[in-house]
Amino acid sequence: MKVSEWRERLEVEKCYDLVAELFDRIEKSKLNAFITLNKDEALRKAEEFDRGKLKGKLAGIPIAVKDNISTKGLRTTCASKMLANYIPPFDAHVVERLKREGAIIIGKTNMDEFAMGTTTETSYFGVVRNPHDLERVAGGSSGGSGACLHDESVLALGSDTGGSIRCPASFCGVFGLKPTYGLVSRYGLIPYANSLEQIGPMANCVEDLALLLEVIAGKDERDSTNAGVEFKFEPEDKRFRIGIVKEMNASDDVMKVFEEVVEVIKGRHEVVEVSLSSLKYALPAYYIIAMSEASSNLARYDGVRYGYALEKLDTWTRYFSKVRAEGFGEEVKRRIMLGTYALSAGYYGKYYLKALRVRTLVKNDFQRAFKHCDILIAPTMPTPAFKIGEIQDPLTMYKMDVNTVPVNLAGIPALSMPMGFVKGLPVGLQVMGNYFEENKILSFALELEREVV
Q: Annotated catalytic residue: which of 66, 108, 178, 440? A: 66
- What is the DSSP annotation of 299-359? GG-SSSSSS---S--SSHHHHHHHHHHHHS-HHHHHHHHHHHHHHSTTTIIIIIIHHHHHH
User: Is residue 392 exposed (0-12), middle (13-18) or buried (19+ Cβ within 10 Å)?
Assistant: exposed
SS (H, E, C) 148-161: HHHCCCCEEEEEEC
Which amino acid type is present at position 63? I
What's phi and psi for 133, nearest 5 deg? -165, 110
* 66 assigned to active site: yes
SS3 content of the chain, % helix, strand, coil (to 5): 40, 15, 40
Q: Which long-range contacts (C-beta less than 8 Å, at least 24 apart) are formed by 5-13?
A: 6/60, 6/61, 6/62, 6/154, 7/60, 7/61, 10/49, 10/60
2, 12, 155, 224, 421 from 15: Cα distances, Å: 15, 9, 16, 38, 34
**168-180 burial, b if ≥16 CB within 10 A, otherwise e?**
bbbbbbbbbbbbb
Alpha helices for 101-157 (secondary structure H): 143-147
* 164 assigned to active site: yes
Let me know: does 274 contact 246? Beta carbons within 8 Å.
yes
Q: Annotated catalytic residue: which of 145, 153, 164, 292? A: 164
Let me know: does 72 contact 89? Beta carbons within 8 Å.
yes
Helices and strands, counts by H and E, the chain: 15, 13
- Give the containing element (helix H, strand E) for 272: strand 270-274
* 275 assigned to active site: no
Picking from 75, 118, 43, 72, the residue whose alpha carbon sits closest to that of residue 286 is 118
Report, in angstroms and rounded to the nearest whole number, the Rg of the chain calculated over CA atoms. Answer: 21
Q: Annotated catalytic residue: which of 141, 153, 159, 170? A: 141
- Give the C-alpha separation, 356 to 339, whole Å: 14
What's phi and psi for 270, nearest 5 deg? -80, 130
- For the annotated catalytic residues, the residue numbers are 66, 141, 164
